[in-house]
Structure 1
Amino acid sequence: MLVDTHCHLDFPPFVEDLDSVISRAAAVGVRSMVTIGVTLDRHPGNLAVAERFDDVWCTVGIHPNEADTAPEVTVDTLIRLADHPKVIGFGETGLDYFHKRAPKEVQEHLFRVHIAAARETGLPLSIHSRDAIQDTADILREEYEKGPFKAVLHCFGGSPLLAEVGMELGLLFSIAGVVTFPNARSLHEIIPSVPLDRLVVETDAPYLTPVPHRGERNEPAYAAFTAARVATLKGVDMEEFRRASTDNFFRLFTKARRPRTAGH
């Protein structure tokens, strides 16, 4: 089986056919998925999606592009919202200097709030970093010195610095459909050096649709194409990669349960 570790099943493109989306994913072995939080206002709807399906989980958090929607959110608020069997982590959180939709200082503050919640609860967080590699690396190292926390680098893009920091701090690397793009050379070059026990896959659906479906809406079933490309880059067969990445996910997201009928 495979796990789509990062998707957005509460987003409008899935309103009409979510049951079919989940069925198509299961048909190709994508048995579990995590629908990721982006704002606190959207959390009830995202949680409802997770509650509707046995093997869909969710996180709670504020995307850096939405940081100014709740700039004063506290660690206690995040921890309270995570006190639900279906909420298995925090985020997505981090820094985004590409869109510039929220001030850098607000993004940084909320990033540290999410990290503190992860540290206090032991739940992992999903980290977003776009055009902010150095600041992301600096904050991760500074916060880790205060005490360890668990995290996954969402949509890892092949940055040598983030690879170094991720390895240093014991983070997981989540690979999205970008890896199937011919021009993703830095990612192609760095994946072979990332240990198999640090890799998971994601879709970021409905975004970042992999080859051969570019131009279409992305969905969890397409994680299989990403997994196949990563397995090739790692020089392992697909079954070995499926097993390893699934084990990696459940080792990090300890609140999630394996599907009842799916071993590895």
Structure 2
Amino acid sequence: MNLRQVEIFRAVVTHRTTARAAETLRISQPAVSKMLQALEQSVGFPLFHRTKGRLDPTVEGQLFFQEVEHAFAGLAKLRGAAARIRDYGSGEIRVASLSAFSNNIMPQAIAGFLAKHPGIAITYHSRMSSVVRDLVASGQFDLGVVADEIDRTGVECRPFIELRAALAMPEGHPLTKLEMVRPADLEGHNFLALSPEDTARQRAEAVFEQAGIKVRTVLETPYTMNICAMVANGLGVGLVDPMAADLFLNRGLVLRPFEPALNFRTLLILPPHRPPSRQVEALIAELHEAAGI
């Protein structure tokens, strides 16, 4: 059995005559008949009832035709995938980011990308930066957006955006009366902190130490979004990425500038020794546009 025989069988079932099938396939009628005979010998059962110039599938032929249709549907899918690979290099992008960008930059960038490249499928995960790094380093994902504290070995790194931290506080909190919050203002207030390995937290602790104050840390979490949600529910105050906090503004959370300046730094990371495809570069361009850089 070969694909050409199966293709001829499918055409005969569709058109019910060898003459019409031959015309459709642009081959001779004797060639069609010969191929059908060879296919029947190969499968070991008759495929057609031959009556008055028509070919009607046997019960076995109908069952075989159903499987043939499944196979040709798979071939059509393969042709579509080949076209996407020809045009874009791949039919899918796998991207992951830190959770702080899961409700702002990433949706905007992905929406902009898909509007221009509707044939590309995207898999998106929101994870801790260390997990995103591992997904990209292992080659499982094509692109990652992470905080700068990751282990940079085994990935290609590009600077992304740097955002000045702001102090998040619940509505009605005493610190909302200040136009600018400084380290000394935090004494006596419950403080919500990022995980100890976070470089933004490490820079904040250096500032607190230099100012000679000790904040009252009541909660630690690796996610800026968690700090924002906890602040909005009145648990305390915390230094956050203002982009992540945007979702919580006017929903129980207030932001104030913090002095001295502390920055959240992020990176774009790519798998090593594998140049990014054109569509990955196109998604990176959309990320820059969504971030306003």
TM-score per shorter chain, which class? under 0.3
**With structure 1 as the length reference, what TM-score do the two structures score?**
0.27
Provide TM-score, normalisation by structure 2.
0.25
Structure with the largest fraction of strand:
2
